[in-house]
Amino acid sequence: MSIHTKKVAKKVTLTTISKMKGVEPITMITAYDALFAKLFDGNVDMILVGDSLNMSFLGKDDTLSATMDQMIYHTQAVCNGASLPLIVLDMPFGSYTTPQKAVENATRAYQETNAQAVKIEGGKERAHIVKALSENSIAVLGHIGLMPQFVRADGGYRVRGKDKTDIASLVEDAKALEAAGAFAIVVEGVKSEAAEAITSAINIPTIGIGAGLECDGQVLVWSDMFGFFEAFKPKFVKEYCSGAKLIRENLEKYTSEVKSREFPSKEYTY
């Protein structure tokens, strides 16, 4: 089996992820429930229980109303389904506004789920929060560039790293998070030159989403990449299958068979 199709054979730890930088691209996917987590188990290095579930699962327009209770409930489900990937709980908007609040909420995440790390959005301005979490033995995945939790304050989704000044600022963000103790950083919605500059400036892995090939790994939202989320499709999303189409076609088949009394036939009857 080539490295490109390699299965994950044993539990992925923070050390596994650190050692992959510059050696082998890291694969991460989101999951929100046990059913899909089980499908992803053994096939990806990391699972992110992303607050994107607020949009794809709850049908909200953005991620901002996700709550700690919601994230814990879904992370418990994912941990029930997957045993091998490193599982990260995404800290929702408002749950890490101060170091104390962050430590209290992340402690809850560790105590009530089997997540191995939490993710928080923000660069240098949030480094003190990452430091507080790290000092309390909570592993942190950073998140810089386009940050969905900032979208209302920023006035929309905006690609970052378009000029030298912004690239330098993103590199500073990444360095500040690394110094504060983050074990890896999600880099979202940045020009590939910016992702390259960030990745080569730090010793911890970068995991890109809409950030090009230069990152140490990639992450996609499962409902986007499998064609289930139809509200909008960002440029960086590759649809590996047409999930929504598949479901619709087969649901139509079921409906028609029920209406015509073709289902349940003898085969499906006691």
Name residues contacting ligand KIV, limited to 161-220 (CB under 6 A): 186, 188, 209, 219
How far apart are the C-alpha atoms of 55 and 72, rounded to whole Å?
Answer: 17
Give the C-alpha distances (Å, rounded to integers) separating 62 from 51, 74, 195, 211. Answer: 9, 17, 25, 21
**Residue 51 or 178 having the CB closest to ligand KIV:** 51
In the bound complex, which residue of the shown chain has the CB atom lying closest to ligand KIV?
A: 50
Stretches 46-54, 79-87, 156-164, 177-185: which one binds ligand KIV (CB under 6 A)? Answer: 46-54
Name residues contacting ligand KIV, limited to 68-107 (CB under 6 A): 90
- 184-188 and 217-220 strand pairing: unpaired
| Distance of closest approach, residue 149 Cβ to ligand KIV, in angstroms | 9
| Distance of closest approach, residue 119 Cβ to ligand KIV, in angstroms | 7
* Active-site residue, selected from the candidate residues 104, 125, 135, 188: 188
Under rule CB under 6 A, residue 50 binds ligand KIV: yes
Give the C-alpha distances (Å, rounded to integers) separating 165 from 97, 171, 178. Answer: 27, 10, 20
Name residues contacting ligand KIV, limited to 222-261 (CB under 6 A): none
How far apart are the C-alpha atoms of 217 and 124, rounded to whole Å?
Answer: 22
Among 31, 32, 44, 51, binds ligand KIV (CB under 6 A): 51
Among 27, 52, 75, 113, binds ligand KIV (CB under 6 A): 52
Give the C-alpha distances (Å, rounded to integers) separating 26 from 204, 217, 227. Answer: 12, 4, 22
Verify whether residue 188 is a known catalytic residue.
yes
Under rule CB under 6 A, residue 30 binds ligand KIV: yes
How far apart are the C-alpha atoms of 244 and 227, rounded to whole Å?
Answer: 6
In 3-state terms, what secondary structure has residue 146? coil
Alpha carbons within 13 angstroms on the beta-carbon side of residue 153 total 8
Positions annotated as catalytic residues are 188
**Binding stretches for ligand KIV (CB under 6 A):** 30, 48, 50-52, 90, 186, 188, 209, 219, 221
